[in-house]
Amino acid sequence: MGGRGLKILAHLVEQPDWDVVGVADRSAVAYARLQAELYDRRVHMVGEAEELLALEPEVVVVATTAAGHLPVVQALAGFEGSLFIEKPLAASVAQGRQLQALLDGRPRVAIGFQRRGSTMYAEAVRTLRSGELGAVNSLRWGAPIPSQISMKGAHHFDLANWLTGTPPVAVSAELLENPAVDRRGAYYVDPPGHARVEFEGGAVFEADSTGDSPTGLVVECEHGRLTVGPEEDALVISGPSEERSVASDGGREESFDWFDATLRALVAGEDGPCTVPEAAAALEVVAGVFVSDEQGGETMQLPLAGDDASRELRIA
């Protein structure tokens, strides 16, 4: 189980709306620790993901590190309930494509890009789709503090994809050589940096996770703009005739409001707000960021091919 998975578990066991019936972890150390922590709650501990099926859960949350997502989902092949898979979808584009093929046509699957569960961001998408502001010309995001380009930035790569409604076709990036945030444990490396993503239709997204330009999100359109500040406390819609605000329904690091909204949708029998193909597109961007940086900021065409698609990324 990954670090995010432990946070999700700690949240779920404290919520009266959710009943955690089982937890799987094949690590002997983690198994023993979690078994002790969960004993009084009567939560079953098992060593393999497929053992969860005997407990007949409605939803299985897959929250290992990225490299574990594909084998866990393969082990759950007989599960007919809902699946929530944490982002990133996989540790390589090739693994992501395998997952996409494995889950093709399967209903009630959600990927953990939590802003997809936000009514505030859904209103931003609705406004853009309505044509009120015209075509999307450009998007930019500046993190409030130095932030990992994958762990944090990937949320905004997916958000840009959702807002534009078109797939990414190219990416270029430069990452910090001596980053303020650079390591996750002994293996994972995820520095801050700058990325430029081009979308089909011409919109361009500029992402800065260094903390040097803490602007939040700005979407420039033909007839106005959308803005969400660094604290994500409100959406401001500036149109040709009026300006209006939409209050946030979550957004803080410690908040699970958007996560819970996604789980509720799955339990209600709906498809997740972020689909597997959309998550695969975000993974293409993340992989392209690292490849571009290694090649001196060269623009990488998407989808990636050959070794660029098969290389395993050191992301959690």
pLDDT tens-digit profile, the chain (316 residues): 788 888 999 999 999 999 999 999 988 888 788 888 888 888 999 999 999 999 999 999 999 989 999 999 999 998 999 999 999 999 999 999 999 999 999 999 999 998 999 999 999 999 999 999 999 999 999 999 999 999 899 999 999 999 999 999 999 999 998 666 554 554 567 899 999 999 999 999 999 999 999 999 999 999 999 999 999 999 999 999 899 999 998 765 557 999 999 999 999 988 889 999 999 999 999 999 999 999 999 999 999 999 999 988 877 6
Instruction: Return the DSSP state at 243.
Output: E
Spatial contact of 94 and 251, defined as CB atoms under 8 Å apart? no
- Residue corresponding to tokens 């909204």: 261
pTM, two decimals, is 0.92
Note the pLDDT of residue 185: 52
Closest by alpha carbon to 18, among 61, 51, 54, 53?
A: 61
Spatial contact of 88 and 315, defined as CB atoms under 8 Å apart? yes
- Beta carbons within 8 Å of 7's beta carbon, 6+ residues apart: none
Helix axes 153-164, 276-294, angle to 10 degrees: 120
Q: CA-CA distance, 284 to 95, in Å (whole number)? A: 11
Domains and CATH numbers, the chain: 116-248+256-310 (3.30.360.10)
Question: Count of alpha carbons within 13 Å of 245, Cβ hemisphere only?
Answer: 8
Note the pLDDT of residue 187: 58
Note the pLDDT of residue 179: 61
- Residue corresponding to tokens 């866990």: 72
Note the pLDDT of residue 2: 80
Note the pLDDT of residue 29: 82
Q: CA-CA distance, 111 to 264, in Å (whole number)? A: 14
Instruction: Give kind and range of the element (H or E) at residue 173.
Output: strand 168-175
Spatial contact of 267 and 259, defined as CB atoms under 8 Å apart? no
Contacts of 52-56 with CB under 8 Å at 24 or more apart are 52/22, 52/24, 52/76, 52/79, 53/78, 53/79, 55/21, 55/22, 56/21
Note the pLDDT of residue 315: 78
